[in-house]
């Protein structure tokens, strides 16, 4: 008996979506028996005033012992996870609630599996190096982009290696994900832009992935036109709740897709940019996006035609024209939302390219998903084109 064709779809164990879904948090906490939560967030979310009404809501539902950890950086380092774990342990917390962008959620997911662990956090990097999680975990994204609320991975910065690395395990899948557009209303324009392009990268790369399926491709291709339409709207009109909900839904769909199909070379080449130059994940992806797509086109032109049509091309577009259409659409979208085009715009120098290429070539967990195999020399050429 063969099980080669069996597919397992991974996501959060319970998923709440739609406007005002955030108000159901107390009910979800009750079902998980969370009475002393640690809220993991960042200073930007605190400053925006998103946490205060949530605390008021919890207090009104009899939850008084609430603790907050907000010292989260744009690219969370391993020592941040350790400090957050200390806060969880010292206050005898019994559940973790992530309220923020990908950094807050990735930190919270790591805390949920690392608290009480005896081995070093760095030994959790890789696939399935995590013990069974016993700490309840709820994720509530405040950006429409990362999809971390429904994925089984936590991306952290290994400071010593100057490289972002992943803890990959189904134990990282949250018990509950609450995707509520009202939580994204205060998101700054620059974060809206970077996280929105990140969501598009997730949709496109998961569609092209060597490990995509009928299910993931449907989610990927469905998310693409939603992002193309809604992202410029929310960038210019941040209070547009309908467009915010469209972006939140599209980001979720792309997250479900890449959480199962994986992402590829865009992410692999973006990782060293975050690790060595501390660029945000969304900006790093945006910088590499169109350049990697130029290289990938020859490996799967039929898929590029599907993507081009999803991005707005005429159904009769030829295979030959589809690659350039996709690249131009990506570049025009990034320009429309104010993301610079070139590595040199972020103080990266040409002498850095060789080291970046060597680091990216080691991200084999992602490169194996990419439709075109890339050598170190290929990767160096892509960085040179992006420079």
Closest among 90, 151, 153, 85 to 121, alpha carbons compared: 85
- Over residues 146-177, the pLDDT tens digits come to 899 999 999 898 877 777 788 999 999 999 99
Region for residue 277 given its phi and psi (left: phi exceeds 0; alpha: psi -120 to 50; beta: otherwise): alpha
- The architecture in CATH of the region 189-386 reads Up-down Bundle (1.20)
Q: What's the confidence (pLDDT) of residue 323?
A: 96
The boundaries of every CATH 1.20.1090.10 domain in the chain are 189-386
DSSP state of 246: H
The pLDDT value recorded for residue 185 is 93
Chain segment 101-145, per-residue pLDDT in tens: 999 999 999 999 999 888 899 999 999 999 999 999 999 999 998
pLDDT at 6: 79
User: Concatenated DSSP letters for 331-382?
Assistant: HHHHHHTT----GGGGT--GGGHHHHHHHHHT-HHHHTTSSS---HHHHHHH
What's the rounded mean pLDDT across residues 273-295? 92
Work out the pLDDT band at 190, boundaries 50, 70, 90.
Answer: very high
- State how beta strands 37-40 and 67-69 pair: parallel
CATH 3.40.50.1970 domain extents, the chain:
15-184
Q: How would CATH label the architecture of 15-184?
A: 3-Layer(aba) Sandwich (3.40)
Say what the pLDDT of residue 287 is.
Answer: 95
Q: Are the beta carbons of 96 and 106 closer than 8 angstroms? A: no
Q: Is the pLDDT of residue 281 over 90?
A: no
Mean pLDDT of 188-216: 96
Q: In the predicted model, is pLDDT for residue 294 greater than 90?
A: yes
Whether residue 1 is predicted with pLDDT greater than 90 in this model: the reply is no
Q: Which residues pair with 139 in a beta bridge?
A: 98, 177
Distance CA 276, CA 264 (A): 20
Q: Shortest CA distance to 93 belongs to which of 122, 136, 148?
A: 136
Exposed, middle or buried by CB within 10 Å (0-12, 13-18, 19+), for 275? buried
Please tell me what DSSP assigns to residue 94: -
Tokens of 323: 């690659």
- Average pLDDT over all residues of the chain: 94
| Span 241-270, pLDDT tens digits | 999 999 999 999 999 999 999 999 999 999
What's the CA gap between 313 and 5, in Å, rounded? Answer: 33
**Cα–Cα nearest to 304, from 218, 196, 205, 219:** 205
Q: Residue 203 pLDDT > 80, yes or no?
A: yes
């Amino acid at each position: 008996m063969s099980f080669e064709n069996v597919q397992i779809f991974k996501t959060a164990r319970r998923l709440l979506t739609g406007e005002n879904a955030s108000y159901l948090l107390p009910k979800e906490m009750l079902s998980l028996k969370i009475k002393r939560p640690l809220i993991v967030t960042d200073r930007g979310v605190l400053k925006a005033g998103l946490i205060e009404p949530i605390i008021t809501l919890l207090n009104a539902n009899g939850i008084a012992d609430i603790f907050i950890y907000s010292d989260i950086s744009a690219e969370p380092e391993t020592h941040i996870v350790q400090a957050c774990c200390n806060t969880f342990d010292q206050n005898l917390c019994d559940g973790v609630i992530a309220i923020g962008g990908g950094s807050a959620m990735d930190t919270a997911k790591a805390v949920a599996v690392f608290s009480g662990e005896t081995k070093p956090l760095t030994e959790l990097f890789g696939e399935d190096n995590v013990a069974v999680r016993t700490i309840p975990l709820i994720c509530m994204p405040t950006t429409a982009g990362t999809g971390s609320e429904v994925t089984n991975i936590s991306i952290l910065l290994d400071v010593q290696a100057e490289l972002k690395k992943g803890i990959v395990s189904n134990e990282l899948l949250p018990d509950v994900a609450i995707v509520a557009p009202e939580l994204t209303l205060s998101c700054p324009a620059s974060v809206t832009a970077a996280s929105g392009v990140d969501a598009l990268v997730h949709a496109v790369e998961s569609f092209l992935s060597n490990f995509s399926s009928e299910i993931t491709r449907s989610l990927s291709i469905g998310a693409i036109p939603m992002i193309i339409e809604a992202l410029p709207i929310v960038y210019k009109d941040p209070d547009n709740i309908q467009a915010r909900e469209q972006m939140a839904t599209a980001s979720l769909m792309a997250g479900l897709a890449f959480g199962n199909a994986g992402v590829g070379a865009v992410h692999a080449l973006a990782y060293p940019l975050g690790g060595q130059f501390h660029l945000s994940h969304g900006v790093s992806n945006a910088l590499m996006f169109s350049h990697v797509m130029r290289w990938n086109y020859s490996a799967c032109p039929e898929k590029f035609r599907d993507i081009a049509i999803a991005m707005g091309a005429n159904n009769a577009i030829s295979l030959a024209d589809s690659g350039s259409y996709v690249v131009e659409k990506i570049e025009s979208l990034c320009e429309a939302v104010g993301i610079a085009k070139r590595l040199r715009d972020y103080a990266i120098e040409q002498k850095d390219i060789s080291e970046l290429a060597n680091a990216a070539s080691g991200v084999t967990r992602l490169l194996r998903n990419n439709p075109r195999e890339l050598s170190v020399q290929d990767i160096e050429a892509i960085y040179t084109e992006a420079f």
